[in-house]
Amino acid sequence: MQPAARLYRPHIQALGARYDAALDACGFDAVLIGAGALIPVHRDDQDYPYRPEPLFLQWAALQAHPGSALLYRPGRKPLLLVYEPEDFWHQAAPVPKGPWHKALDIRVMRRRDEIGRHLPARGRGRLRVALLGDPVQWRGLSLSGTVNPRPLLTHLDYDRAFKTPWEIACMQVATAMGLAGHRAVRQAFAAGCSEFEMGLMFLAATGQTDQELPYPAIVAVNRNGATLHYQHRDRHRLPNKDRHSLLLDAGCNCAGYASDITRTYAARRGEFAGMVRDMDKAQQRLCQLVRPGVAFPELQLAAHAEIAGLLARWDLVRMTPEQMVSQRVTDFFLPHGLGHLLGLQVHDVGGGLASHRGGELARPKRFPRLRLTRPLAPGMVVTIEPGLYFIDSLLARLRKSRAGRRVNWRKVASLHRYGGIRIEDNVLVTADGHRNLTRELEIGRAGRPL
């Protein structure tokens, strides 16, 4: 499964045009983007897992090449410097086959300090160079340039929200891979596997290592679903009667681009299964609201209205949905944002930028954790991930609040063991609305992927 190679050259052209404008606006003639460096563990001879620099990946999908870099100068073919040291302890990863071989000028470096040869010599150079990425990579190299100039990063972060067709195609492949993993884990849950086993099955079905995933998969059985970013893997297989629910939040990585997918499953028919179905419908209604010009905080409010409707319908809270939203009762059940920008990072940068020049669009007081305040625009990919959880610390506060006596605590107690529900899709904003990248691959559709 690969994104269509023909989309890559136009991507590089579009990226070049963005960098031309950004460099011009910020007073630079060239940019060197580091792939990142290996960080050694304290008093050990091993390194922490390597995470490549997203700005580097946007040009070249080399995900296992620390020490490499990309040099871009307007009007010139981008230069990809691949670091392959002579090292008989480790094996250099091959440069993956792909369309970059034609669109980039690729050279191999055997030594770190060869990077300097490709930049203007110190003192004599008139070029103003920006050095982007983790500065650890430049240590001891005496490169002349400005390290991570904030205005340039801001300019690039702002543009990064708008995906090129290549980027969207990568995210579609990441989605298809993630969905294959979800299918495998769903079957494994039905077969009685432990969280640990399901985590391994996700990797096997997607063909990715833990390190390659865009974020650690959340494999949460029963109460563990109430921890939003649950990070453990219980090794025990639970007997059938003790298995109630599974919340799986897991995505994949294709050429550096992420998918971020959540599904919640009930172990058997009954009230919780009905709640999951209702939540799925509510989530689909929220996805339908995605279109250009919409302010994400409005969608956040719409999500709270949906959650209020569910709390009323399931007789969890005995107030009108309007009261539940205005008195902030829903905040106890949905304590996170409805979604975020998605792309090179799972929580992609720039969600609050007012313009290329920066300025943060204020988060609404009501939703201080909202990661996305920019108005939606074509090319953005956002997640839509409403949830409803039974979180002990929040329930304790709700019990003490004025609305506490309007809560049907017996019902809460009966649902407590299920942990929570989250349903998450990845949605592309188009010129006239949206495309749900997750659902169109999950259920198939007449149209073909890009």
Site residues, Mn ion (CB under 5 A)? 249, 260, 262, 383, 424
Token pair of 138, please? 């430049």
Site string for ligand GLY, 370-399 (x = CB under 6 A): ---------------x--------------
Nearest distance, CB of residue 336 and ligand GLY, angstroms: 8
Return the one option of Mn ion, ligand GLY, none that residue 53 interacts with (CB less than 5 to 8 A, by type): none
Within 330-349, the residues that bind ligand GLY by CB under 6 A are 346
Nearest distance, CB of residue 301 and ligand GLY, angstroms: 19
Nearest distance, CB of residue 221 and ligand GLY, angstroms: 17
Residues 6+ apart with CB under 8 A from 443: none
Nearest residue to ligand GLY, scored by beta-carbon proximity: 249
Beta strands in 294-432 (DSSP E): 353-355, 358-360, 381-384, 387-389, 420-422, 425-430
Beta-bridged to residue 393, according to DSSP, are none
| CA dihedral angle for residue 8, residue 12, residue 18, residue 22, rounded to 10 degrees | 140
Nearest distance, CB of residue 426 and Mn ion, angstroms: 8
Count of residues that interact with ligand GLY, criterion CB under 6 A: 6
Return the one option of ligand GLY, Mn ion, none that residue 63 interacts with (CB less than 5 to 8 A, by type): none
Distance, CA of 391 to CA of 395 (rounded, Å) = 6
Return the one option of ligand GLY, Mn ion, none that residue 222 interacts with (CB less than 5 to 8 A, by type): none
* Choice between 2 and 209, CB closer to ligand GLY: 209
* Choice between 137 and 259, CB closer to Mn ion: 259
* Choice between 340 and 434, CB closer to ligand GLY: 340
Nearest distance, CB of residue 139 and Mn ion, angstroms: 34
Within 223-282, the residues that bind ligand GLY by CB under 6 A are 249, 260
Query: Are 48 and 58 in contact, with CB atoms under 8 Å apart?
Result: no
Nearest distance, CB of residue 167 and ligand GLY, angstroms: 19
* Choice between 73 and 263, CB closer to Mn ion: 263
* Choice between 213 and 310, CB closer to ligand GLY: 213
Determine if 215 is a binding residue for ligand GLY (CB under 6 A). Answer: yes
* Choice between 178 and 321, CB closer to ligand GLY: 178
Largest CA distance in the chain: 77
Rounded to whole angstroms, what are the CA distances from 167 to 62, 71, 389, 428?
A: 15, 20, 33, 11
* Choice between 156 and 217, CB closer to ligand GLY: 217
* Choice between 53 and 424, CB closer to ligand GLY: 424
* Choice between 19 and 333, CB closer to Mn ion: 333
Return the one option of ligand GLY, Mn ion, none that residue 215 interacts with (CB less than 5 to 8 A, by type): ligand GLY
Query: Are 61 and 253 in contact, with CB atoms under 8 Å apart?
Result: no
Would you list the DSSP string of 82-138?
Answer: EE----SSS-PPPPPPSTHHHHSEEEEESSGGGGGGGSPPTTT----EEEES-GGGG
* Choice between 194 and 438, CB closer to Mn ion: 438
The CA-based angle 224-325-360, given to 5 degrees, is 80
Query: Are 80 and 107 in contact, with CB atoms under 8 Å apart?
Result: yes
Distance, CA of 389 to CA of 418 (rounded, Å) = 9
Task: Give me the phi and psi of 323, to 5 degrees please.
Answer: -65, -40
Residues 6+ apart with CB under 8 A from 87: none
Token pair of 137, please? 């990579």
Determine if 167 is a binding residue for ligand GLY (CB under 6 A). Answer: no
Distance, CA of 320 to CA of 300 (rounded, Å) = 19
Helices marked H in 161-270: 165-190, 195-206
Distance, CA of 259 to CA of 437 (rounded, Å) = 9
Nearest distance, CB of residue 231 and Mn ion, angstroms: 13
Within 395-434, the residues that bind ligand GLY by CB under 6 A are 424
Nearest distance, CB of residue 382 and ligand GLY, angstroms: 11
Return the one option of ligand GLY, Mn ion, none that residue 134 interacts with (CB less than 5 to 8 A, by type): none
Token pair of 167, please? 């980027």
State which amino acid sits at residue 266: A
Return the one option of ligand GLY, Mn ion, none that residue 197 interacts with (CB less than 5 to 8 A, by type): none
Q: Which residues bind ligand GLY (CB under 6 A)?
A: 215, 249, 260, 346, 385, 424
